[in-house]
Amino acid sequence: MPMRLTLLGPPGSGKGTLSTRIAHQLRLPAVHVGALLRRHAAEATPLGRAAGAFLRRGDLVPDQLVTGLVLKRLDQPDCARGFVLDGFPRTIGQAEALDEYLAARDAALDAACCLEVPDDELWRRLRGRGRSDDEELVIHHRLAVWARQTRPVLAYYRDRGRLAVVDAVGPPEVIAERILSRVAALADGPTGRR
């Protein structure tokens, strides 16, 4: 099924797990932006060296670095029918760049799905992951960065009628069905938009 989705949410909201599950159900590629950046950092590519310090601090990688990486990935043939983005866009500038990229290809993002999770549940999940960027001070910082820099992206998509807000607490298979249901309601028109 052709579809272009992005999953947005704070660290620990389940974007990676859910994007993989939904992409599999829709037979589309999942594009895990954080994993792409971490791979570049581990391989010490020029992009990885430039992005590494931002990743270690829990800061967003600058738009000019991450946007080029993502759009290059979306140019690959497996994304022609659609994709499920995990962790992009995280700023208004990235959202605008994605819209321009898609419009130039006579396409558009079908939905931006915001995964809502209570703060205590986010902390429980983040502490249990064991990733190097999940130390307590970095977690605090990453959550603050989400609130300051990425939360405005939700308004960007709400204003364009493409925001689907989803309760992201529960088993992944149940949350995935909630996402697909909200996306379908959004596609049905204004009555489905939140």
Residue 194 has a pLDDT of 38
Q: Alpha-carbon distance 125 to 4, whole Å?
A: 27
Q: Which two tokens stand for residue 45?
A: 């590519």
Residue type, 104: A
3 state DSSP class of 8: strand
Strands 3-8 and 30-32: unpaired
- Give me the half-sphere count of Cα atoms (radius 13 Å) on the Cβ side of residue 60: 23
Q: Where are the domains of the chain?
A: 3-186
pTM of the model: 0.87
| DSSP notation for 82-111 | EEEEES---SHHHHHHHHHHHHTTT----E
Q: Alpha-carbon distance 126 to 142, whole Å?
A: 11
Topology classification of domain 3-186: Rossmann fold (3.40.50)
Residue 80 has a pLDDT of 94
pLDDT along the chain (194 residues), means of 10: 91 95 96 90 86 80 89 96 95 96 96 95 86 77 88 95 96 97 84 40
Residue 192 has a pLDDT of 41
